[in-house]
Amino acid sequence: MNRTRLIFFLVIALALTIVGASLIMQQMGVRSPIVQAPAEIEVRIVCALPVEAFVRQAAEQYNREGHTLEGHPVRVSVTPMDGLTAMGRWEREEMTPIPTVWIPDSRYLVELVNATYKEKRGRDVFLTGGEYRTRPIAISLFCWGIYQSRASVLRARYGEIDWRAIHDAATAKGGWPELGGSADWGYFKLVVPNPHKNVGGLMAMVAAAGEYYGKTHIETADVTNPAFQAWLKELMGAVTDFSSLGAYSVENLALFGYSMGDGGQLLESDLLQNMAGIQTRWADPLVIVYPRYLTWFDFPFTIWMGDETTALEKNAALDFERYLLTPDVQRLAEQQGLRPANPEVPIGGPESLFTRWQEQGVMTVVPRTTAMRSPDREVLLALLRWFDLNVSER
């Protein structure tokens, strides 16, 4: 008998032995060991800073309520991370461990990351259709937040507060006295978040470009136009210190007042959350003004569809998404200055910040329909490169 045939018969004998042993164990009532599924399903969420408090509050409430899926308890954890930072980590494949869910500031960030992974893997990792599609969990607008005394002077001088008026105010050589304001105010100081730490800083430059060109779609050629670059550099020269304007610009404005800035285009929800603190600390409150071209932040709930997470984890994420969109939880979002994504939840209840600050210009329904289109990757990179070369070292 040659070596090959001997090995063949040994394998057959081993297989018969295993089958025989299994039959004997069944007759004796002994069961084979079963691999147990994990006792707890964890939904790991990487979340944009403006909605982190809302999502964390909802997650803590969800965890306390003891939700289960197929008999397993579900636990949700939340990690705050700016959208641009998260996008960079996704594209460099530095997200470790892979989160079950990503909630960035805007849907266009999801589309950019998905395009990168589709080139690498040949398929979508974030979906736009079906049960697991990307859905917004709350909405906030980009609007002007300016101290009331300063806003009155700007309106008297320019009629409307927009990026062109802000540019002219920023470049007034005589400072506030030239504009009709008090000499004690010094020069106009603009608040713009650092675009490397907050998506809002990047979107402020996109919004400024939109008003400069009078259109909603910005292209790379617009960013590299020397005339626009000179105009934008003059505008950004009114920012006191980008290094101090990190991820929480409105909080800094509330804490440090006029020394930090006179106003800027910032996220509506951040402004609403800090209105009371500003009134407590400073001589006059902020007023909110909605721009001609609106920028929307829709905070999409985006489930990772790669093999790194299990089907149970994906379905648990879907269960938490449905929970976030329930009317009761959406009202928690409204209490934090966010516009509910569930259309069944009206804006302006008795505990709503929208109701509390209506006299300061807050609108439940904004009578403008022109929205800025999301920038593509080339525009983002061009703006960030321009910022690094012209502003960030200042």
Question: How far apart are alpha carbons 52 and 103 in whole angstroms?
Answer: 9
Residues 156, 121, single domain; the answer is no
Contacts of 35 (CB under 8 A, 6+ apart): none
Q: What is the pLDDT of residue 245?
A: 54
Q: Is the pLDDT of residue 131 over 90?
A: yes
* For helices 311-324 and 327-335, angle between their N-to-C axes, nearest 10 degrees: 70
Residues 285, 172, single domain; the answer is yes
Residues 276, 380, single domain; the answer is yes
Residues 317, 279, single domain; the answer is no
Cβ count near 225 (within 10 Å): 16
Mean pLDDT of 155-177: 95
Residues 222, 319, single domain; the answer is no
Residue 57 covered by a domain: yes
Residue 351 covered by a domain: no
pLDDT in tens, 65-79: 999 999 999 999 999
User: 371: which strand partners?
Assistant: 294
Count of structural domains, the chain: 2
Residue 280 covered by a domain: yes
Residues 185, 279, single domain; the answer is yes
Residue 33 covered by a domain: no
- Average pLDDT across the chain, whole number: 88
pLDDT band per the 50, 70, 90 thresholds, residue 80: very high
Domain span at residue 235?
140-297+363-390
Residues 146, 180, single domain; the answer is yes
Residues 263, 153, single domain; the answer is yes
Report yes or no: 175 and 185 within 8 Å, Cβ to Cβ. yes
Mean pLDDT of 171-198: 92
Residue 114 covered by a domain: yes
Residue 123 covered by a domain: yes
Q: What is the CATH number of the domain that holds 94?
A: 3.40.190.10
Cβ count near 314 (within 10 Å): 19
Residue 19 covered by a domain: no
Helix residue ranges per DSSP H, the chain: 3-27, 49-64, 83-91, 107-121, 148-158, 163-170, 175-179, 199-213, 220-223, 226-236, 249-256, 268-281, 311-324, 327-335, 353-356, 377-390
Residues 89, 226, single domain; the answer is no
pLDDT band per the 50, 70, 90 thresholds, residue 243: low
Residues 280, 385, single domain; the answer is yes
Q: What is the pLDDT of residue 36?
A: 47
Residues 159, 192, single domain; the answer is yes
pLDDT in tens, 331-388: 999 999 999 999 999 998 777 899 999 999 999 988 866 888 989 989 999 999 999 9
Report yes or no: 98 and 308 within 8 Å, Cβ to Cβ. yes
Residue 58 covered by a domain: yes
Residues 154, 264, single domain; the answer is yes
